[in-house]
Structure 1
């Protein structure tokens, strides 16, 4: 059965505080209208506390809402689309843009506009951590330490290079942790780890780390870089980044519909790049939770 086409009317909401938000707002608005998308409204949000209210209002007024910003902006607004008929469309304007990459999108403005104007509807899953929805991936270990401490101006001006510089600095303050995962069948697995990812999508930190996952798999994946060595963590990232054959040997994965995650010592969890939880948590999948604008097959 052929799915309905994407709506031709939409509201554009751009987080002007995201890395490229303020710079491309006018450009994106003009290109969307030129591509045939009728904008009911176009709003640049300059204050973080106004984002939720703006999105709630837009979802009630438009058949499609385009969110421009980084992964954190997308994840923080996703709850307002669950259970609604409004299509969620993205304009990736952050540093890593992991969700866009998990969706198979290029991250330049022209490509995003093409998806919004000429793409297809796709029903996808969402991850859930203790009742809170997220679009792409969460992490505990070194990644949250970086996310929690990286200066905003460093990532704004240097992007991924700024993250890498701060990652080296943060590594000197990081210690491995003891991970406990309770699976769907009640069995418990334990391992030492330097990082763990809770994945609904394939990408984390802009890199394809969880190749076995898809945003419509119907399962949540926990992937851990096991062991106590930070060198092992660095090697895992390197092997994955450059697609070495040995990359699968550097991680362990568990998947299911509902998993319990614990850590000793307790770990902060970054959810799509923003610190939003702390172990222990229950993670699960919300299958087919929403419709998005996706690239053509």
Structure 2
């Protein structure tokens, strides 16, 4: 019989190179065990490139749940390992924006996140895909990948979202709009754009960008900031950050299971904060792809 209860045995894998990962690894291990989670193993991973391999090995041991501690990049970089496996994906939000944790309704503090894992339930959720790469939350093209590709690690680590904003202002000086084509399989939509967000959930960069995207709708959402104006892009972020009434005035949204995205010139694509692809690409939804741990009352 299928159950929504979470397993009590787990393996912990923390990105110790993330903004708070090194400081929180020991605390997370102690708090999880104190809350009744039996840790079969615990790994503080110094090299982020080893996160996926460490999670893969943990799942291969037969652990019923693997808890990943880190930011959205860590979640996106390891979630592929859970697809098609009977293993629950536990999320410890230790990053800068923690957009995936926000989408799941998880507490962003360590104590609250630990309690959700210790006393919560399973939830089956969708994943987004860029070509063959799964992601948990959002992909973007335009100014965001330029920021993500060039932002100094120390600025990101110690100043968080404030650091991102400062670097965004710097990057915007040399940024130019691009021609965008979105093919939904029946029609091509052409426009100028300064930023495109491919959303599996409502949050990107810790900001709620869409009222329609979520992890259990069975659809991917493409949101394009239209026009050639950089001040309009800045206003769009401002309006969405403060949830102004006209926050959607400069965006167009497309909903569906699969889209082809092309741009002129070609644009780099940031996938949950990591620049990993380039247009043209096919983006689509992978419905009900993984089980995640969420709070019991989520």
Q: TM-score range by the shorter chain?
A: over 0.9
Is 1:56 the counterpart of 2:63? The answer is: no
In the TM superposition, what are the counterparts of 1:132-143 in structure 2 within 5 Å? 132-143=133-144
In the TM superposition, residue 2 of structure 1 has moved relative to its aligned partner by: 7.6
In the TM superposition, residue 22 of structure 1 has moved relative to its aligned partner by: 0.3
Instruction: Give the paired residue count.
Output: 296
In the TM superposition, what are the counterparts of 1:208-287 in structure 2 within 5 Å? 208-287=208-287
TM-score normalised to structure 1 length: 0.97
Structure 1's consecutive aligned runs of 4 or more residues displaced over 2 angstroms after TM superposition are 1-4
In the alignment, the residues of structure 2 paired with residue 46 and residue 244 of structure 1 have an alpha-carbon distance, to the nearest angstrom, of 41
User: Which residue pairs with 1:158 in the alignment?
Assistant: 159
In the TM superposition, residue 211 of structure 1 has moved relative to its aligned partner by: 1.9
- Report Cα offsets for 1:109-131 as digits up to 9, x if no partner: 01110111111100000001111
Is 1:129 the counterpart of 2:130? The answer is: yes
In the alignment, the residues of structure 2 paired with residue 145 and residue 49 of structure 1 have an alpha-carbon distance, to the nearest angstrom, of 21
In the alignment, the residues of structure 1 paired with residue 121 and residue 272 of structure 2 have an alpha-carbon distance, to the nearest angstrom, of 24
Please give the secondary structure, in 2, of the residue aligned with 1:249: coil
User: Which residue pairs with 2:196 in the alignment?
Assistant: 196
In the alignment, the residues of structure 2 paired with residue 126 and residue 29 of structure 1 have an alpha-carbon distance, to the nearest angstrom, of 28
Please give the secondary structure, in 1, of the residue aligned with 2:249: helix
- Report Cα offsets for 1:37-81 as digits up to 9, x if no partner: 000011101123322221111112210000001111111111110
User: Which residue pairs with 1:177 in the alignment?
Assistant: 178
In the TM superposition, residue 294 of structure 1 has moved relative to its aligned partner by: 1.2
In the TM superposition, residue 292 of structure 1 has moved relative to its aligned partner by: 0.3
In the TM superposition, residue 106 of structure 1 has moved relative to its aligned partner by: 2.3
Give the superposed CA RMSD.
1.1
Q: Can you give the 5+ residue segments of structure 1 that lack an aligned partner in the other structure?
A: none
